[in-house]
Chains A and B, each alone.
Chain A
Amino acid sequence: GENVEQHPSTLSVQEGDSAVIKCTYSDSASNYFPWYKQELGKGPQLIIDIRSNVGEKKDQRIAVTLNKTAKHFSLHITETQPEDSAVYFCARRVYNFNKFYFGSGTKLNVKP
């Protein structure tokens, strides 16, 4: 299908633990996969992205992995902090076409 399957829909972790969110897609023409963080009352904010010619990308406590063969990509947040609490969205873009398809979101709650 067009959309991206995102799991879990809610995730609760203790401060300092790791959080992992996974997305799957079916269109092999997808070539770009951004992750967005959306806080209450705000627009989505880009936190990390990965292109299809790369398997992993890391930025401080945040990392994204991509498995093109299995058509899934994951967001990893280590040493979680209360300010990481938000809704996270994955998305994909099809090569040669600027339409972005989003997952349904994961509400992350980091308990202090």
Chain B
Amino acid sequence: ETGVTQSPTHLIKTRGQQVTLRCSSQSGHNTVSWYQQALGQGPQFIFQYYREEENGRGNFPPRFSGLQFPNYSSELNVNALELDDSALYLCASSRGGAQEQETQYFGPGTRLLVL
């Protein structure tokens, strides 16, 4: 076990709704990265939060947003849900500087289904 926890484990939403996913990082880690993993695919980088600031973003629209809190836990928010947003959402925690992080450790993921 990595010590990274995510909630909820599963979620069902309808198109157009909004969702918030949560992640608690491993003790001692100051950075959280979020990934979207579609069925049968590798994880795709959404964004990273380092010391409460966004520190890099992948090719995802602005309706994907996030937060990091002083205890380094994080939230991923998705507005105006689309059917293609159905996926496993993974968070990974790590430690290091803004430009060079050490190894990332993943949580178990949140399975989101959009109907």
- Measured CB to CB, the residues of A under 8 A from B are 3-4, 6, 34, 36, 41-46, 49, 89, 91, 93, 95-105
- Cross-chain contact A99 with B45 (CB below 8 angstroms): yes
- Cross-chain contact B104 with A100 (CB below 8 angstroms): yes
- Measured CB to CB, the residues of B under 8 A from A are 2, 4, 6, 31, 33, 35, 40-45, 48, 50, 55-56, 58, 90, 94, 98-101, 103-109
- Cross-chain contact B33 with A100 (CB below 8 angstroms): yes
- Given A98-B33, A98-B56, A101-B45, are A46 and B100 neighbors across the interface (CB < 8 Å)? no
- Cross-chain contact A98 with B101 (CB below 8 angstroms): yes
- Cross-chain contact B56 with A99 (CB below 8 angstroms): yes
Chain A, Cβ-Cβ closest to B111: A41
- Cross-chain contact A43 with B106 (CB below 8 angstroms): yes
Chain B, Cβ-Cβ closest to A31: B100
- Cross-chain contact B99 with A102 (CB below 8 angstroms): no
Question: Separation in Å of the A55 CB from the closest CB of chain B?
Answer: 19
- Given A43-B108, A45-B2, are A98 and B99 neighbors across the interface (CB < 8 Å)? yes
Contacts of A4 in B (CB 8 A): 42
Cα of A3 to Cα of B31 in the assembled complex, Å: 22
